[in-house]
Amino acid sequence: MGFIWFWVVAVMLVAYVVLDGFDIGVGILHLFVAQTEPQRQVTLHSIGPVWDGNEVWLLASGGTLYFAFPLLYASAFSGFYLALMIVLWLLIGRAAAIELRMKINNGVWRAFFDGVFFISSALLAVFYGAALANVIRGVPLGADGYFFLPLWTDWRVGPQPGILDWYTVIGGVVALVALAEHGALYLAVKTEGELQQRARATGRVLWIALFALTIISLPASVIARPDTLDNYRKYPLTFAVPVIVFLSLLGMIHFCRKAEDRKAFGCSCVYLSIMMAGAAIGLYPRLLPATTGAQYDITIDHALSGPHTLHVGLAWWGFGMLLALTYFVIVYRMFRGKVPVESGGYEH
């Protein structure tokens, strides 16, 4: 059951990153790719019917984590409480910007919420990347399973790190560029004309940065956490992960240059999914590594709920996922196709 629930949570987090990732990417690019008011309305309209539904995967992941691995949930909140509150405010900021921007026909009003939308989206990407890097690197867990992290210490990876160090900064920048690329390729799929051309051009430029950062981030993870490769050495087939990562990167630029936008976006989805899966493989069976010693690691066995909770939860989770998938299939099918500039302002 521990193995099943570990990958259940991992899959739900991957779904959130892939689906809400293009929403966040659109927000990062909103001020740059869209240069006129009609184009900015189109960028918002491109995510209008789906952005709030995509965020359900984050809530579902948190709820699943709560009843499947309660010790991890408690420990993570003890050390990441401030960061989680900031993420909450950024999510609120994005939602407010999307919902309120078109309520008043005033340039200053719209400009203010354009800025809120951009800042909230960009910082969310950075926080998510830094958070994942903190989990991979490990945190200074004590014997009681709790920890405290200052914002930074000496910027080095060690027994007493801060939230920010050289490795977590790399993680934040990788997430920022990866989600911006994801958003650019999504806009190329959903838009047309000048906005589509600018989205494609932005995707090609961002790809160069993403390729370089990916090359840097993979060995950086091994340096920050040398035992990351233990599972890869134990199961050599998992070395397909970095191969698929680079193939998906090559697919992005190849299809973007050929203006095959759906295939380019599909490669971006694969890239994000496999990068997340690779991190999960490196962690397993740990849920939260300790920089203070392996004896303090929070593992699946230590954090797992009781058998009755897990079996009953699995049945209800399956039912809930069936409903969620049905909803998403219907919404995305109804929202297929382009968003024309003539569609007018965004209405939720």
Average pLDDT over residues 118-142: 95
What is the arithmetic mean of pLDDT over 265-273? 98
pLDDT band at 12 (very low <50, low <70, confident <90, very high): very high
Apex 238 CA angle, 134 and 136, nearest 5: 5
Is 80 exceeded by the pLDDT of residue 341?
A: no
CB distance 217 to 170 below 8 Å: yes
What pLDDT shows up at residue 346?
41
Q: What's the number of domains the chain is made of? A: 1
Closest CA to 67 of 322, 315, 275: 315
Average pLDDT over residues 125-142: 94
Question: In the prediction, which pLDDT does 23 show?
Answer: 95
Average pLDDT over residues 288-317: 91
Q: What rounded mean pLDDT belongs to the chain?
A: 92
pLDDT number for residue 15: 95
Cα gap 141→136, rounded to integer Å: 14
In a domain, 348, yes or no: no
Give the per-residue pLDDT at 48: 86
Average pLDDT score over residue span 46-65: 90
**Within-domain flag for 206:** yes
Mean per-residue pLDDT, 203-227: 95
Per the model's pLDDT, the better-predicted residue between 1 and 16 turns out to be 16
Stretch 182-208: mean pLDDT, rounded? Answer: 96
- Does 258 reside within a domain? yes
Q: Is residue 134 part of a domain?
A: yes
Helix (H, G, I), strand (E, B) or coil at 140: coil
Residue 128 belongs to domain spanning = 2-343
- Is 253's pLDDT higher than 70? yes
What is the distance between the alpha carbons of residues 124 and 120, in angstroms, rounded to a whole number?
A: 6
In a domain, 267, yes or no: yes
225, part of any domain: yes
pLDDT of residue 345: 43
pTM over 0.95: no
Local confidence band at 348 (pLDDT 50, 70, 90 cut-offs)? very low
- CB atoms < 10 A from the CB of 100, how many? 14
Rounded CA gap, 44 and 347, in Å?
9
* Confidence check: pLDDT of 247 > 90: yes
For residue 149, what pLDDT is reported? 85
132 pLDDT band, cuts 50/70/90, is very high
Name the residue with higher pLDDT: 152 or 348: 152
Instruction: Considering only residues 163 and 90, tell me which one the structure prediction assigns the higher pLDDT.
Output: 90
**pLDDT number for residue 192:** 93
Q: What is the pLDDT of residue 1?
A: 86
Q: What's the whole-number mean pLDDT along residues 129-135?
A: 94
> Would you state the pLDDT for residue 78?
81
The answer, yes or no, to whether residue 60 has pLDDT greater than 70, is yes
Weakest-pLDDT range from 53-57, 151-155, 203-207:
151-155
Residue 131 lies in a domain: yes
Q: Is the pLDDT of residue 249 over 70?
A: yes
Q: What is the pLDDT of residue 347?
A: 42
pLDDT band at 152 (very low <50, low <70, confident <90, very high): confident
Q: What is the amino acid identity at position 309?
A: T
Q: Does residue 179 lie within any of the structural domains?
A: yes
Question: How much is the pLDDT for 129?
Answer: 96
Q: Which whole number is the average pLDDT over 234-257?
A: 96
Q: Would you say residue 204 has pLDDT above 90? A: yes
pLDDT mean over 203-223: 96
Residues of the chain with pLDDT > 90, as a percent, come to 73
| pLDDT value of residue 342 | 56
pLDDT at 22: 97
